[in-house]
Structure 1
Amino acid sequence: MSEKTELPRHVGFIVDGNRRWAKQHGLPAYEGHLAGYNSLKDVLLETLRRGVKYASAYVFSTENWKRSEEEVGHLMGLLLKVLESDVPIFLEHNVRMRVIGSREGLSETLRKAIERAEERTRNLTGGELLLCLNYGGHLEIADAVKKIVQSGVTAEDVTPELIAQNLYAPEVPPCDLIVRTSGEQRLSNFMLWRAAYSELMFIEKNWPDMTIKDVEFILEEYKKRNRRFGG
């Protein structure tokens, strides 16, 4: 079965190339993450402004804890800024903000900031922005299975639909399109369940070089795709 569609419901962005961008410009890694943060807001808000209902961004994976303590600290500081200082931007654009991933290992300050930001934007209707923070596709599926086991469901009653209902933010639909920057061509543990039939797009630019013009290109390119679902 194939399907021609004009606009994706859910676009997932694998935010890649911040450190590479910094190195190319002779700057410390932190400057790359700061530049990436500035692009993140522009690209995600433009994606939603153009009518996409869900835009998700892979901002910190479960594997990123392996980076230096200094770099992790800078990243957490930027994420805290998104969750605190930038909430008025989401309110202005009528955008609901959610954070998916494990809360384990996050500071109490960050956890409380997540709760406040989600609560303040809960009833906004202009699209949903999902930050994948301390997120891993394997962990998401494992956590879903744990919830199912704890609920007492028998093995015979486990279905793909039941697993989907127990993912993080289960009402968020599968990714129609996953975009990765920096020229790398892999999913890196992003949205593994929701990526089953995603269209994939790999862009040579490093993430800090992304602009709202790239959103137009991405959505126009998506229109040309003839989606196939195995039928």
Structure 2
Amino acid sequence: MAKSTKQRAESPLTPGAPVPQHIGIIMDGNGRWAKARGLPRAMGHRAGTKNIRRVLEEAVRLKIQVLTIYAFSTENWGRPRAEVGHLMRLISQSIRDELDELDANGVQIRHSGRLSGVDPKLAEQIRAAIERTKHNDTIVLNVAFNYGGRAEIVDAIRHIMRDGIAPDEVTEELISRYLYTAGLPDPDMIIRTGGDYRLSNFLTWQAAYAEYYSTPTYWPDFDEAELQQAVAVFQGRDRRFGLVK
């Protein structure tokens, strides 16, 4: 508690300045965090999963409306089989461990990605969590799981074609309504931990005008102060959306 109080007292945020409505986070660096400590990669993923709660709680305090976390990409299936299996079990266990508290705290869970190809029991867990929390309104936790930005656009186009929509009727707004994130505001900010400068197929359509922020901090160490610093940088940006001011 003392640490949290100190962080609030030294907050870099500008009072009254806007904060992002929607932040997307590429949670990178779990494996390198573990390697730096002589631990197996699985321990890094476990530490990273536990860190989600800390960042989510700070996002609520900052009055951020939507937090999208990149949990597992369509490309991640190419990782070693044992690591993928561990990640699936970790996600399942996290739902069991966290769902009651998330629901009690008003967190609405959304999913972005394909549930096809996912273990049926895990897919049902995800669907049940979405259904249980669909009326909550404190914050939206949108979990990008088995997600790829290009795959999302392909799925949207397929659904548009199945609905028989004429080519001349296709607009940017219509495509947005067919994306996994339909009904959510586009992200104002994308944060990437771990020091790299890559989009990694994350929110490819939605992040067209998002502010990007990269930090060398590995995801398990990305704490409340780090999130505040990222938001402070956002507050200092001049967002022109292609216009001249």
Residue deviations 1:110-137, cap 9 Å, x none? 0110111111111111010011000000
On the 8 A contact 2:19/2:62 being kept in 1, the answer is no
Matched residue, 1:191: 203
The within-5 A match list for 1:12-27 is 12-27=24-39
Matched residue, 1:216: 228
Cα offset, 1:169, TM superposition: 3.0
Cα offset, 1:5, TM superposition: 5.8
Matched residue, 1:104: 116
Equivalent residues, number: 228
2:164 and 2:128 mapped to 1: Cα distance?
A: 33
Matched residue, 1:59: 71
Q: Which residue, 71, 96, 102 being the options, matches 1:84?
A: 96
SS of the residue 1:58 aligns to: strand
Letter in 2 for 1:71: E
Letter in 2 for 1:171: G
1:61 and 1:160 mapped to 2: Cα distance?
A: 24
> RMSD between aligned alpha carbons?
1.3
On the 8 A contact 1:48/1:55 being kept in 2, the answer is no
Residue deviations 1:200-222, cap 9 Å, x none? 00001011111122122122221
Structure 1 runs (4+) deviating above 3 angstroms are none
On the 8 A contact 2:26/2:192 being kept in 1, the answer is yes
Matched residue, 1:168: 180
On the 8 A contact 2:113/2:144 being kept in 1, the answer is yes
Cα offset, 1:156, TM superposition: 1.3
Question: Structure 2: where are the runs of 5+ without partners?
Answer: 1-15
Q: TM-score, normalised by structure 1?
A: 0.96
SS of the residue 1:226 aligns to: coil
Please tell me whether residue 71 in structure 1 is matched to residue 93 in structure 2: no
On the 8 A contact 1:57/1:132 being kept in 2, the answer is yes
The within-5 A match list for 1:202-213 is 202-213=214-225
SS of the residue 2:136 aligns to: coil
Aligned-residue identity in percent: 39
Q: TM-score, normalised by structure 2?
A: 0.90
